[in-house]
Amino acid sequence: MKRAPGRERGFAQVARARLRWLVVGPPYLWLLLFFAAPFLIVLKISLAEAQIAMPPFTDLLRWSGEKLSLTLNLANYGFLLSDELYVSAYLNSLRIALNATLLCLLIAYPMAWVIARMPPGRRLVFLMLIILPSWTSFLIRIYAWIGILKNEGLLNEALLALGLIDAPLRILHSEAALYIGIVYAYLPFMLLPLYANLVKLDDRLLEAATDLGAKSHQVFVRVILPLSRSGILAGCMLVFIPAVGEFVIPELLGGAGNLMIGKVLWQEFFNNRDWPVASAVAIVMLLLLMVPIMLLHRYQARELEAR
Amino acid sequence: MTANTPPGARDGAEVAAAAATPAGSYLRVVGVSKDFADCRALEQVDLEVGKGEIFALLGASGCGKSTLLRVLAGFETPSEGHVILDGEPLDALPPHRRPVNMMFQSYALFPHMSVEKNIAFGLKQEGLRRAEIAERVVEMLTLVRMGEYARRKPDQLSGGQQQRVALARSLIKRPKLLLLDEPMGALDRKLRAQMQIEVVDILRRLGVTCLMVTHDQDEAMTMAGRIAIMERGRIRQVGAPAEVYEKPSCRYSAEFIGSVNLFEGRVSEQFPDHLLITSRSLPYPIRVGYAALVPDAAQVTLAVRPEKMSLSHSPPAQAHNKLSGVIERIAYFGSHSAYYLRTPSGQTVRGVLLNAQRQSGPRFVAGEQAWMAWEADAVVVLPA
């Protein structure tokens, strides 16, 4: 039997359109269920009032008599601004995350460079060495740092044994320990995008720059650095964003002085049981993080346009 | 170079002697060898290139020509030997301080910089005034006819345009020596022919001394004044294109440039003005139209270019330099056709006829019996 060719194409088109939805649909559904919906719930709670009940917050919509009333309580946000604690926790989080990101970049860039210049077989070995630790539990690895950094820990014992110090250094529960923990935990997230970027860098561009009279530092500043900008940005985002909201590392390694917003959030939810304020804290954190993400997006769009 | 004794310091006297170059040789490569971990890429290479000359290193891939180019640029340090440019030894100079610039294979333009920034790159390192840099960039843009593309990025340019930018970038520092690495390698056939002429034109106008590396014999013959044929790290023959083609000095260069018919033979008689050679694969003796310095009864290889063959149906009148066979195959190339004649001894001999010539003369078809003959002057005697 012969089919009209136009009809056949129609079927194929419909089939392809369905296939496309089948491929694109699930991730969207996933994001809708597990990102958009929880976000809206949190937003809703942040606009409610706390009450001692089940659930521990008021409804936004209320029927009374014939009237449907919507009550949006902005006091939670006002409270965040008025209380010194929250503002300083936010600023502290941003500062620590920023410093940790820079530290990661300074450590990861040379590492990524050296690995990217290795012969391909050896590259894989070194990449594995970097990825391997993340196969064990994050929590356990951070706990292990307590054993290393505490007063009678491995580090202090070693330094004492070598005679470099007379009394153990107080590292644990200080800002230094906090940075050690964050840099340790997030280094792979900085290193991998940098590596992926640097490994593609064409050696002949470096030779061309040298040939044209550039000394090695000039080659770095004028050729390597600009060409690896997208890797640097991606790595910084991957470290900075989770570091701002980090809870476990400041809790286990940080001191009382380094209040970070993740900890405040936890305390609001579990100690104070003030869900609306906790939700407001989360929403503001999200908004703060939106700024760098949007800047990155703008940059990437411009980069694509220039192409 | 070993870390503590650069060749320049090790034997200064030798370099000084070599640096006193005779007039006419601007670039001198003296006994340069290069060993890599697993092979010897260059073996005692000697080369002299005159000022303003365009010189081509021609060879198959892996013959060492690129290594030699990288030695000149300073990216590789020779295991032995010296490079002297304009009377100055280059051995101790790092690449960024050599008065040598290179146009890289597939150009290596900086993708994040516009055309004008790419071209200006070399001058910015020198700390020149902005105005002067801008002036020289414009001068270069005009020279390579890229003025209207100054603000484009390399990936917005065609292959030929990218090449012009790469050329301008490598010329802007007014190098004493310009290196071209497979200059036409990334272009399609048609553009290649056009750019070959254009590049040579620019180089001649600037009078820059240029050493190019290529595996494409047409490119070398069109662009260069002299050619060196390289094989396995050695230079086999140096000469003008016509000289290398007409008078190959060895089997390798005869076979590498163009196509050639080779016959093995033994010198049977020598005269003051010619030689007679007998070959087991040919029924008639071969007459060579000049005296060659070969011992009696020496084993030699004879080379005859296909275009020197004449083709006929009837046996030629001459007593020498002819053979007969069956036309095995005819290949049509538009401007000319190639005829493959299979001799009774089993050798396939190639003859080329221009198609203009073919129109007027007799016609040949595959499967026919035919004769080939050639002049005594067309034979080149090579060592066996």
**What would the mean pLDDT of B297-312 be, rounded to a whole number?**
90
Identify the top-confidence range among A58-67, A161-170, B42-51, B253-262: B42-51
pLDDT averaged over every residue in chain B: 88
Quick one: closest CA in B to A228, which residue?
A: B112
Secondary structure class of A22 (helix, strand, coil): helix
Q: Which letter does DSSP use for residue A36 in this model?
A: I
What CATH number did the domain enclosing B366 receive? 2.40.50.140
Contact B68, B53 (CB under 8 A): no
* Residues B206 and B294 occupy one common structural domain: no
Query: In whole angstroms, what is the distance from residue A270 CA to residue A264 CA?
Result: 10
* Residues B245 and B287 occupy one common structural domain: no
- Pick from B233, B252, B271: which residue ends a domain? B252
User: Which chain B residues touch A306 with a CB distance below 8 Å?
Assistant: 153
Residue B275 pLDDT class (50, 70, 90 cuts): confident
Q: Is residue B139 part of a domain?
A: no
Contact A202 B108 (CB under 8 A): yes
* Residues B269 and B240 occupy one common structural domain: no
User: Which chain A residues touch B173 with a CB distance below 8 Å?
Assistant: 212-213
Query: In whole angstroms, what is the distance from residue B186 CA to residue B106 CA?
Result: 6
- Pick from B252, B286, B318: which residue ends a domain? B252
Q: In what order do the strands lie in the sheet with B88-89?
A: B40-49, B27-35, B80-85, B88-89
Structure tokens at A28: 């969207």
* Nearest chain A CA: its distance from B171 CA (Å): 10
Q: Is residue B133 part of a domain?
A: no
pLDDT of residue B202: 94
* Nearest chain A CA: its distance from B154 CA (Å): 10
* Residue percentage of chain B with pLDDT more than 90: 62
B302, β-bridge pairs? B263, B381
pLDDT averaged over every residue in chain A: 89
Query: Pick the residue with more confidence: B178 or A13?
Result: B178
Reported ipTM? 0.81
Q: Is residue B169 part of a domain?
A: no
- Pick from B223, B252, B281: which residue ends a domain? B252
Residue-wise pLDDT tens digits, A185-227 = 999 999 999 999 999 999 999 999 999 999 999 999 999 999 9
- Give me the sign of the Cα torsion angle B92, B95, B100, B105: positive
Contact B179, B72 (CB under 8 A): yes
Which among A289, A271, A294, A265 is positioned nearest to A45, based on CA atoms?
Answer: A265
Contact A274, A281 (CB under 8 A): no
Residue-wise pLDDT tens digits, A217-252 = 999 999 999 999 989 999 999 999 999 989 999 999
Structure tokens at A289: 């993080």
Contacts with B120 (C-beta within 8 Å, 6 or more apart), sequence order: B133, B134, B137, B172
- This prediction has a pTM of 0.81
Tokens 């007039």 -> residue: B23
Least confident of A20-24, A92-96, B12-16: B12-16
pLDDT of residue A5: 53
Contact B58, B183 (CB under 8 A): no
Q: How many separate domains does chain B show?
A: 2
Q: Say if residue A79's pLDDT is above 50.
A: yes
* Residues B192 and B297 occupy one common structural domain: no
**What would the mean pLDDT of B228-232 be, rounded to a whole number?**
94
Q: Say if residue B2's pLDDT is above 50.
A: no
Task: Give the CA angle between residues B17, B23, B29 to the nearest 5°.
Answer: 55
* Residues B222 and B292 occupy one common structural domain: no
Q: Say if residue B9's pLDDT is above 50.
A: no
Contact A222 B100 (CB under 8 A): no
Contact A253, A149 (CB under 8 A): yes
Contact B169 A205 (CB under 8 A): no
pLDDT of residue B172: 96
Structure tokens at A10: 């129609």
Least confident of B111-115, B329-333, B380-384: B380-384
Q: What is the 3-state secondary structure (H, E, C) of chain B?
A: CCCCCCHHHHCHHHHHHHHCCCCCCCEEEEEEEEECCCCEEEEEEEEEECCCCEEEEECCCCCCHHHHHHHHHCCCCCCEEEEEECCEECCCCCHHHCCEEEEECCECCCCCCCHHHHHHHHHHCCCCCHHHHHHHHHHHHHHCCCHHHCCCCHHHCCHHHHHHHHHHHHHCCCCCEEEEECCCCCCCHHHHHHHHHHHHHHHHHHCCEEEEEECCHHHHHHHCCEEEEEECCEEEEEECHHHHHHCCCCHHHHHHCCCCEEEEEEEEEECCCCEEEECCCCCCCEEECCCCCCCCCCEEEEEECHHHCEEECCCCCCCCCEEEEEEEEEEECCCEEEEEEECCCCCEEEEEEEHHHHHHCCCCCCCCEEEEECCHHHCEEEEC
**What would the mean pLDDT of B324-344 be, rounded to a whole number?**
91
Give CA separation, A211 vs A305, B54, B74, B79, B150, in Å.
31, 20, 8, 21, 22
Q: Is residue B150 part of a domain?
A: no
* Residues B269 and B338 occupy one common structural domain: yes
Residue B290 pLDDT class (50, 70, 90 cuts): confident
* Residues B275 and B308 occupy one common structural domain: yes
Q: Say if residue A62's pLDDT is above 50.
A: yes
Question: What distance lies between CA B244 and its chain's CA centroid?
Answer: 9
* Residue percentage of chain B with pLDDT more than 70: 93
Q: Is residue B148 part of a domain?
A: no
**What would the mean pLDDT of B9-33 be, rounded to a whole number?**
62
Q: Which CATH architecture has domain A84-273?
A: Orthogonal Bundle (1.10)
Which residues of B have a CB under 8 Å from any CB of A?
73, 75, 94-97, 100-102, 104-106, 108-112, 121-122, 125-126, 153, 155, 169-170, 173
For residue B237, which amino acid is it?
Q
Q: Is residue B337 part of a domain?
A: yes
**What would the mean pLDDT of B222-236 be, rounded to a whole number?**
94
User: Residue ranges of the domains in chain A?
Assistant: 1-82, 84-273
**Phi and psi angles of residue B154, each rounded to the nearest 5 degrees, phi first:** -55, -35
* Residues B267 and B245 occupy one common structural domain: no
Contact A184, A190 (CB under 8 A): no
- In this structure, the number of other CB atoms found within 10 A of the CB of residue B307 comes to 16
Query: In whole angstroms, what is the distance from residue B270 CA to residue B267 CA?
Result: 7
pLDDT of residue B19: 43
pLDDT of residue B7: 41
Query: Pick the residue with more confidence: B142 or A297?
Result: B142
User: Which chain A residues touch B105 with a CB distance below 8 Å?
Assistant: 204
Residue B24 pLDDT class (50, 70, 90 cuts): low
The residue range of the domain holding B221 is 7-99+175-252
* Residues B198 and B277 occupy one common structural domain: no
* Residues B82 and B194 occupy one common structural domain: yes
Secondary structure class of A34 (helix, strand, coil): helix
Residue-wise pLDDT tens digits, A249-280 = 999 998 877 789 998 999 898 998 899 999 99
B299, β-bridge pairs? B266
* Residues B313 and B231 occupy one common structural domain: no
Question: Cα-Cα-Cα-Cα dihedral of A171, A175, A179, A180, to 10°?
Answer: 10
Contact B235, B31 (CB under 8 A): no
* Residues B280 and B196 occupy one common structural domain: no
**Phi and psi angles of residue B46, each rounded to the nearest 5 degrees, phi first:** -120, 135
**What would the mean pLDDT of B244-271 be, rounded to a whole number?**
89
What CATH number did the domain enclosing B230 receive? 3.40.50.300
**Phi and psi angles of residue A211, each rounded to the nearest 5 degrees, phi first:** -60, -35
Least confident of B125-129, B215-219, B348-352: B125-129
**What would the mean pLDDT of B377-383 be, rounded to a whole number?**
89
Q: Which letter does DSSP use for residue A87 in this model?
A: H
Q: Say if residue B250's pLDDT is above 80.
A: yes
User: Which chain B residues touch A304 with a CB distance below 8 Å?
Assistant: none
Task: Give the CA angle between residues B186, B189, B193 to the nearest 5°.
Answer: 100
Residue-wise pLDDT tens digits, A108-142 = 999 999 999 999 999 999 999 999 988 899 999 99
pLDDT of residue B50: 94
pLDDT of residue B1: 35
**What would the mean pLDDT of A92-101 be, rounded to a whole number?**
94
Contact A211 B125 (CB under 8 A): no
pLDDT of residue A8: 60
- In this structure, the number of other CB atoms found within 10 A of the CB of residue B158 comes to 11
Q: Which of B125, B128, B173 to mutate to test the interface with A (most CBs of A within 10 A)?
A: B125
* Residue percentage of chain A with pLDDT more than 90: 60
Structure tokens at A267: 């305390």
pLDDT of residue B351: 93
Secondary structure class of A25 (helix, strand, coil): helix
Which among B62, B84, B61 is positioned nearest to B71, based on CA atoms?
Answer: B84
Structure tokens at A234: 């991606």
